[in-house]
Structure 1
C-alpha cells in the first residue's frame, strides 16, 4: 500500500485579521515556539507518512522558510520528503489556485510521479493530535472510495462546517456544506482519504465547473453519484483556530495543571533552527519576576509579572510590567510599568513604559508595531502591522478602535 499526502496550507483566513496580513494561517505562531502547521506535520511524521506536498499560495515566504527541507519532522531523505507546491503562473490569471480542489488538480503530476494507491488530503491549519493510520485503515477496511474525518460539534455551530449524518456502519447518509441550520453534529475535519483513481476522476470532472472546493463541490458530487463515502469519527482534541477567539482559547488550552494540549505527549516537532530559537539562551528571571501558569519560549527576560499567558522566544517583560491572560509572540519588549491583559501581540512589537493594552475583549496588535509611553489602548482595539509612534494621536484609544491600516 502506497500513500502520499497533500497539505492545504495556502489560505489566509480573514477572521484572524492582522495576524494573517503577512502570512497564511498555517504559518501563524502558536504556543510560544511553534507554528500551526507544526501540528499536522508532526502527525504525519508520527504516522510514518513521508511523501508530502505542501499546497501554498498566500504570502508563502514565512511558511517556506519554516518548513525548509522537512528534516525537522524527519520527512527528508532517500525516498521521502516534503515538497512545496506553490501555484505556477501560466499565460492566464486562472492558472493560480482557484480553490482547494483546483490546488490538487494543478498538481496531478505530483500524484503521477509517485503512483500511490491512496491520497491523504489534510488541512495545514488545525491543532490536534491524530495517528492518520487509524483513518487510513478504516478507509481500507470499508473499501471506501472517500473517507472523511469528522469531529463532534454542537449542531448550532454547523453553519461553519461541512456537516454529516453518519450511519452505524460509518457510511455517510447525508452531507451538508455549511448549512444555515442542521440537526447533524459531526463536522468535517478537512481530512480526506481517497482512492487515487476516484480522486483523479473527480478532479477532472470538477475542473470543468466554476467552483473548485472539496467541501462545496467534490464531496456533494460523489454523494450524488452514490460513491462509497464513509465518515471516520475522531474523538480527540481539535482546535479550529479560525477566529481570534478560537485562536486565543486554543493557546490558553496549553496552560493549567492538566492542559488539554499536552505538547510533550503529543510529540510536536518544529524547526528548531528557525530565526526565533537559534542559539538563544534559556529564559532569565530576575529577582523581581513573578511567573505563574505561563508558557515561555527560550531567550525571554522576565523582570515583571506574567500570569496565565503564552510568550514566544526572546520576549522582555520589564520591571513592574504585567502580562495577564495574553499571547505575546517572539521578539517583543513590554516596557516598565505597562499592563497587558486579554491581548494578542504579534512578533517584534515594542511597547513603551506605563501603557495599558486591552481589557475584557481581546485587543490585537500586529507585527512590527511601536507603541509609545503612557498610551491606553481599550478593549477590542486593533493595531495594524508596521504602525509607528506617530500614528497614536491620542493618549487614550477608545475600545473597538483601529489604529494604522495603511496598505501593506
Structure 2
C-alpha cells in the first residue's frame, strides 16, 4: 500500500507510571506473549504497509530488543522495512520531545524523503484490529485533510481525561474536538490514529516549526477544527485502551472471554505477529489444576491457576493457588502461596507461604525484579 506508517511508542507514558517506569509503552507485555507495539505493527503489516518507523522517547532498550530488525513482521527488507528513531536533537530542538508535533519535527527529513502518498500516525496504547486500506479509501472519498479513526463508546470521568472526544456533523466532518476532557456518557472517542496525505503532514510540520506548536491534539485538531477538513472513520470492532494499571488489568483479564479473544486474535484482517522465541512447551505437573487461563510456553505449573494470564517461562510452585492474576515472564511463585488479583512484573518472585490479596478494582502490583 502506498502509505508510510509512523508509530509513537510512548506518547502516553505519563498515564502508566507503574508499567512504563522502566520500559516504553510499546514494550508493555500483554496477553501472555505479546507487547503493545505488536498490535499497531500487525495492523500496518496486515494492511500492506511495508515501510514504517517507530518514534521512541525513553526507556526504549527492551522495545528495540523486541522489534529487532522487524523480521517477525516481515519487515526486514532492503527497501522499506522498519526504522526505530531514538530521541535526538535537531537544530533548536534539544532534549526529549514535548508532544507529537515536536516529535514529528525531528523526523521531518525522513518523512520528506519518503515516496509514499499517505502517512498513518498511530499510538501503542490502544489495541484493535483495522484494515487501513478502508480508512485511506474513506479519506480519499471525503477529500479529507485529516481522517481520525474513532469508536462510539461509553466513558466515565475516571478515564475520559486520557481521551480525545469528537463531535461530527451528519457528513462525519468534525465540528468540535475536546482533548482530555472530564466527562461521561456515550461519545465518539478517538483511537489515536490519523491518516493524512504526506504533503499535508509536511505543511503541518513546517507551520508548527514557524509557530512553535508542539502538541498535535491541542495545536492542530482542537485549534483548527473549523479551518481543516477533519473527518471521522468509525471503527466498530473490539478495542481496548490501556491508559492505567486498572485498565491494563481489566482488559488483560477480559481476554479470558472467548468473544474478546476471538475478535482480537482471530479476525479476518490478519494475525497478530510478535517476536518468535524458542521456548519449550509448558509442563503441567500431576497435581496442577488450570481453569480458564492463558498459559504461554516455557512454564512449569505445579499448583492451581484460575482466571489468570501466565506469560512465558513462569514457575508456579506446589500447592500454590493463583486466581484472577497476571504473572509476567520469568516470574517465580513459590510453594503454598495464595495470589488473587495480583500483577507481577517481569522477573518478580513471590516466596513460599505468602498470601497476597488484591481486588478486581484495585489489583496489587509487584515491580520488576522484586522479591516478596
Do these two structures clear the TM 0.5 threshold for a shared fold by scoring above it?
yes
Distance 1:98 1:80, change over 3 A: same
CA separation in 2, counterparts of 1:296 and 1:190? 30
CA separation in 2, counterparts of 1:142 and 1:214? 21
Distance 1:334 1:181, change over 3 A: closer
CA contact (8 A) 1:12 1:24 kept: no
Mapping 1:77-116, distance limit 5 Å: 77-89=77-89, 94-116=94-116
Distance 1:338 1:240, change over 3 A: same
CA contact (8 A) 2:290 2:305 kept: yes
Point out the more displaced range, 37-46 or 15-24.
15-24
**2:204 match:** 202
Distance 1:3 1:262, change over 3 A: closer
CA separation in 1, counterparts of 2:83 and 2:224? 29
CA separation in 2, counterparts of 1:128 and 1:13? 19
| TM-aligned CA deviation for residue 209 of structure 1 | 4.1
**2:294 match:** 295
Distance 1:12 1:235, change over 3 A: closer
- From 269, 275, 284, the counterpart of 1:271: 275
| TM-aligned CA deviation for residue 359 of structure 1 | 2.7
**2:311 match:** 312
Distance 1:182 1:246, change over 3 A: closer
Per-residue CA distance 1:296-336 (angstroms, 9 max, x = gap): 11111001000000000011101100110000001111110
- Residue 177 of structure 2 aligns to a residue whose secondary structure is strand
Distance 1:191 1:179, change over 3 A: same
- From 166, 169, 173, the counterpart of 1:167: 169
| TM-aligned CA deviation for residue 77 of structure 1 | 1.5
**1:235 match:** 236
CA separation in 2, counterparts of 1:203 and 1:303? 56
| TM-aligned CA deviation for residue 12 of structure 1 | 5.8
CA separation in 2, counterparts of 1:35 and 1:9? 11
Distance 1:367 1:220, change over 3 A: same
CA contact (8 A) 1:37 1:126 kept: no
- Residue 259 of structure 1 aligns to a residue whose secondary structure is helix
Unaligned regions of 5+ residues in structure 1, if any? 372-408
Unaligned regions of 5+ residues in structure 2, if any? none
**1:332 match:** 331
CA contact (8 A) 2:108 2:205 kept: no
**1:322 match:** 321
Q: Using CA pairs below 8 Å that are at least 6 residues apart, which structure has the higher relative contact order?
A: 2
- Residue 94 of structure 2 aligns to a residue whose secondary structure is helix
| TM-aligned CA deviation for residue 212 of structure 1 | 1.2
| TM-aligned CA deviation for residue 156 of structure 1 | 4.0
Question: Which of structures 1 and 2 has the bigger CA Rg?
Answer: 1
CA contact (8 A) 1:18 1:365 kept: no
Query: Are 1:47 and 2:51 an aligned pair?
Result: no
Per-residue CA distance 1:63-93 (angstroms, 9 max, x = gap): 1111111111112224320101122136767
| TM-aligned CA deviation for residue 263 of structure 1 | 2.1
Distance 1:149 1:325, change over 3 A: same
CA separation in 2, counterparts of 1:214 and 1:138? 22
CA separation in 2, counterparts of 1:291 and 1:302? 9
Point out the more displaced range, 294-303 or 213-222.
213-222
- Residue 234 of structure 2 aligns to a residue whose secondary structure is strand
CA separation in 2, counterparts of 1:14 and 1:227? 29
CA contact (8 A) 2:57 2:97 kept: yes
Distance 1:179 1:210, change over 3 A: farther
| TM-aligned CA deviation for residue 235 of structure 1 | 0.8
CA separation in 2, counterparts of 1:262 and 1:178? 26
Point out the more displaced range, 12-21 or 99-108.
12-21
